[in-house]
A and B are shown apart, each in its own frame.
Chain A
C-alpha cells in the first residue's frame, strides 16, 4: 500500500517502542559479532595458519629473548588458555573490569576494560578516551564545512547547470574526489605552514583546554583538507538529487501555483534532496568517528585513526581490538540513528 491511507496514519506509540527495542537488540548483537570476529582474526586465525601460542607471545618480547622469557609472557598474557576462555575474559573485562600484576604495582582496569596493552604497559580504554576527542573535533569541524560547502555548491551547480560556475565547481569536486588526502594534506602544509606561515602550529596538536588558539591553528588545515574530499562527494550527490527533483511534477505544480522560486527550491526541491544526503552524512560521520586514518596520519593528529595505525604497526593486539570495537560502536550507533530518523520520516520503515 505505498502511498495508501495506512501509511499516512500517525505512528502508534507501541510500534515505535517495539521498533526501537528491535533495532537496539540488533545493534548490540552486531557489536558482539564484531567483537567475536575481530577476536578470531587476531587470536584464532594465526593459530589456524600454524602459529603456536609461543609464536604469538614472542611478539611481545625483545629480539633475543629465549624460550623461558617467551613462555613467561605467554602465561602472563593468558595465551596458553583455550580461546573461549580468553574471549570470555575479554568480555568479562568490559563488563566488570580486570586486574593486572606488574612488578610491585597491581593495576585495576575498571569497566569497560578493553584489555591491557602489554607493549605500552597501559590499559586500552583510557588511551581510547584520550584519543577520541581529537577525532571528534576533527570530524565535527570538517563535517560542518563539507556539509555547508558541499550542499551549497551542489544546489548552485544544479540551478546553473551547464554554466561556467557548474563546470568549475564540478571540476573542483572531481579534483577533491580524485586527490588523495596524503597529497592534499602535505601540499597544504607546504604552502600554508612552511611557505606562507599562516598556520605555524599545523601538525602540532594541543588540547583545546591547553591553548584554544593553537588548537584551532592546528586543526584548520585538517578540517579544510578533509572537508575538501568529502564536500566534493556531497556536491555531486546534491547536484544529482537536485537535478532529479527539479524535474518532478510537484515542482512544476508548485511553480504553477505561483510560489516564489526561492520557496520552490528551498522548501520543496532541497528538502526532498536532503533526505538521502543526510542519510549518507550520518553514516560518513559514524565511520569518521572511528578514526580518520589518513588525515590524522598526515597532520600528526593523535586521534583514533592514528592510534589504530600505530597499534597495527606495533602488533599491539589489545589496542587494535579496542579501536576496532570503538569504531564499530560508532558505525552501529550512526546506523541506528539513521534508521530511527528514517522511521520518523517514513512510517513504512517502522512497519517493515
Chain B
C-alpha cells in the first residue's frame, strides 16, 4: 500500500490545482463589468438602474426566526420584511450616514408627542392598500401591536411595547373579549387614519419603536395566529407567492402597492426568490459566479471567500467592508476579586493586545477596526475617544498596565478565568490572544469554554455562577437593535436589568450610568440625547467594566449583475434589499 501514496499525492495535487483554477475564474455575472470599486457600496448605489424585470436571487444559509411581523428579531429579517410590509417609520433607504435617519413610511410624519413624552400620535398617509386592494386602517396597526404583546404565541419578537405601553393587564388579542379584539387601551385609534400610543413611562425616541415590524398592519380577519406566517398579507411592493420553511421564499409584485405613497422603496425585479439552508461557503461561491445577487444573512463572506476576495482585485472591486453596529469586547466582572478594584480592571484595559485579538477575527478587512470605546462610529452620538491607549501598534501598554497593577495592590499579577463560547472559534482565539498578553504583566488567566446556547442562561450571564467560578473576564459581542444609544446600550450597561440569569449586562454597575440613561430616555432632542449617550460611554470606560477591542465589519460581496447595491447604515451595515434590481 505504501506505493499508492505517491499516486494519491499526485491526485490531490491535481485536484487542488483545479480548485485554485476554479476559484479564480469567477462567473461572468459575478465579477466582471459593473461600475463598482472596493467599498463603493458604502457611499453610493453601485450599478444604478431603474430598469424593471428579472428575478432577484437571494440565499440564506439558515432560516428566518419568523416572517410574521409580530414575531421576528433577526436584523436581516427586519431588512427583508420591508419587501412585503410597511411600518409607521423606517430608516432612510440611502447610502452613507443619511441612512441612520428615520423617515415616515405609513405615517405622514414623525410621531407627535405630549409634553411628558408619554403620548405619541401618528397620522397615516391616505391611499395605502393591502395586496387584495382593501384599505389599510390604523386599527390594523394596533392589532399587530396587540399580537406582539402575546409572547405565548409570538415569543421571538422584541419586548419594547410590552415594556413601555401602559398595558393595564392586557395580554393578547386572542384573550380579548371586546368586539374586533381591539381592547388594548394603551393604543387608541380615534379614526381609521390616526393611532395614539400611551406609555407608562416617558420615552423620547419612540419613533424607533414605530420603525419595528410590530407596527406592520395585520387585518384581523386574516389573522391565523402562529400560522399567519404561511401568508402574511402584504402592504409593501411585493407579496408572498410561496413560503416553505427551511426551503424557499418567493415574492412577486404586489399590484396594489402604490409608489406614490412610498418614496422609500423600488419595485424593479418581477420576482424575489430566496433559497434557504444553503451551505454558507456555497452561498459565497454563487455570489462570486453571479448566480446569486445577495446573501440574506448579511454577516459577511466566509473565511475561504474572504481570502479569495482580498487577493484578487477583480473580486475585491465588488466587495464592501461594511461597518456594523456590533462590538466585540471583554466584560470585566466587579463581583470577582480582584476586579472589585478599578485599578485591576484598568490593568486589563492597558495590557490587552488588541491587534492580536483583531487578527483572531480576520484582521481589519473581514474582522473590523480596533475599538477604543463602547459606542462604535456608525452609531448616532458616537464620540471618538481612547482613554486607555495601548501603544502605536496596539499590542498593549505593558508599563501602564504594571502601574495599574501596583495601584491595585497586585504588582506581581494574579490568577483569573476568561470565559468564551466553544463554537465560536474566533472568539476562543481572541481569548487566547488576551491570555498571552495578560501573561506579560503576570496575570495568569485560564480559559474556560461554554456552549453558546447556554452562555448567558447558565454561565456568563448568571451572576451566581460567575462569582462562584471566578469568571473575571468574559468574551462578549453585542449588536444594537437599531443604531442609536438606547437600542444599543440599554441591555448592556443598565445595572437594573441584571436578573438571576440570562443577562447581557455582564458587570456594569454604576448608579451614575443608570441616572444618565434615565435622563437620555426622556430627552426628545436628538442632539442633547446623543450627548448623554456619549457621557455614558465615557463613564463606562472610566469604570473599566468593558474592554472594547473590535468594531465589527462584514466583508460583503455584491456581484456585478446586481443593480443599486449599497450598504444601509440604518440596517446594521446590510445591503438595502428593497432598492435592488437585476436589469
Which chain A residues have a beta carbon within 8 Å of chain B's beta carbons? Answer: 49-51, 54-55, 58-70, 72-73, 76, 102-105, 107, 118-122, 127, 167-168, 170-172, 174-175, 178-179, 186-187, 189-191, 194-195, 200, 203-204, 297-300, 302, 306-307, 310, 313, 315
Contact = CB atoms under 8 A, between A and B. Distances in A.
Given A167-B7, A174-B4, A313-B62, A300 B159 contact: no
A102 B225 contact: yes
Interface stretch (B90-98, B276-284, B437-445, B537-545): B276-284
Contact of A190 (B23, B279, B458, B502): B23
Interface of A is mostly: helix
A300 B12 CA distance: 25
Given A102-B226, A103-B153, A203 B282 contact: yes
Given A64-B491, A69-B162, A310-B246, A50 B277 contact: no
Contacts of A315: 453
A120 B245 contact: yes
Contacts of A58: 457, 501-502
B40 to A, nearest CB: 25
A107 B224 CA distance: 11
A297 B277 CA distance: 8
A102 B153 contact: yes
Nearest to A298: B279
Contacts of A170: 1, 4
B158 A174 contact: no
Contacts of A189: 282, 285
A69 B155 contact: yes
Interface in B3-34: 3-5, 7-8, 11-12, 15, 18-19, 21-23, 25, 27
A73 B4 contact: no
Interface residues of B, number: 63
Nearest to B23: A190
A68 B11 CA distance: 61
Nearest to A49: B458
B161 to A, nearest CB: 12
Contacts of B275: 204, 300
Nearest to B224: A105
B155 A300 contact: no
Interface in B216-248: 223-227, 229, 245-247
Contacts of B279: 186, 203, 297-300
Contacts of A51: 454, 457-458
A62 B159 contact: yes
A306 B73 contact: no
Contacts of A72: 151-152
Given A58-B501, A306-B277, 18 more contacts: A49-B458, A51-B454, A60-B155, A62-B73, A62-B151, A66-B163, A76-B152, A102-B226, A104-B223, A105-B224, A119-B65, A121-B226, A121-B227, A167-B4, A187-B15, A191-B19, A299-B279, A300-B278
Nearest to A207: B247
B289 interface: yes
8 contacts: A59-B453, A64-B159, A72-B151, A104-B224, A171-B11, A175-B12, A195-B22, A299-B282
Contacts of B8: 171-172, 174-175, 178
Contacts of B246: 120, 127, 302, 307, 310
B254 to A, nearest CB: 25
B123 interface: no
A59 B454 CA distance: 8
Contact of B158 (A59, A62, A175, A300): A62
A103 B247 contact: no
A103 B225 contact: yes
Contacts, number: 162
A292 B291 CA distance: 26
B367 interface: no
Interface in B455-504: 457-458, 491, 499, 501-502, 504
B368 interface: no
Among B27, B159, B172, max chain A CB count under 10 A is at B159
A62 B454 CA distance: 14
A105 B225 contact: yes
Contacts of B458: 49-51, 55
A167 B5 CA distance: 10
B518 interface: no
A65 B226 contact: no
B155 A65 contact: yes
Given A195-B22, A297-B279, A299-B279, A61 B156 contact: yes
Contacts of A60: 155
B150 interface: yes
B36 interface: no
A73 to B, nearest CB: 6
A333 to B, nearest CB: 25
A302 B224 CA distance: 27
B29 to A, nearest CB: 12
Contacts of B18: 187, 190-191, 195
Contacts of B188: none
B11 A66 contact: no
A105 B227 contact: yes
A208 B157 CA distance: 37
Given A104-B224, A190-B23, A195-B22, A62 B157 contact: yes
A65 B19 CA distance: 47
Nearest to B451: A315
B151 A300 contact: no
A70 to B, nearest CB: 8
A110 B277 CA distance: 27
Contacts of B453: 59, 315
A68 B152 CA distance: 10
B281 A302 contact: no
Contacts of A299: 279, 282
B63 interface: yes
Interface string B509-532: 000000000000000000000000
A103 B226 contact: yes
Interface in B273-316: 275, 277-279, 281-282, 285-286, 289, 291
The 8 residue pairs across chains A and B that have the minimum distance between CB atoms: A103-B225, A171-B7, A69-B151, A190-B22, A171-B4, A102-B226, A121-B226, A61-B155
B277 A310 contact: yes
A280 to B, nearest CB: 20
A203 B286 contact: yes
A313 B424 CA distance: 13
A260 to B, nearest CB: 32
A346 to B, nearest CB: 32
Contacts of B282: 186, 189, 203, 298-300
B557 to A, nearest CB: 15
Contact of B278 (A104, A194, A203): A203
Given A102-B225, A302-B277, A63 B504 contact: yes
Contacts of B7: 167-168, 171-172
A73 B247 contact: no
A99 to B, nearest CB: 14
A179 B12 CA distance: 9
Contacts of B277: 300, 302, 306, 310
Contacts of A191: 18-19, 22
A307 B245 CA distance: 11
A174 B1 contact: yes
A170 B2 CA distance: 11
Contacts of B223: 103-104
A349 to B, nearest CB: 34
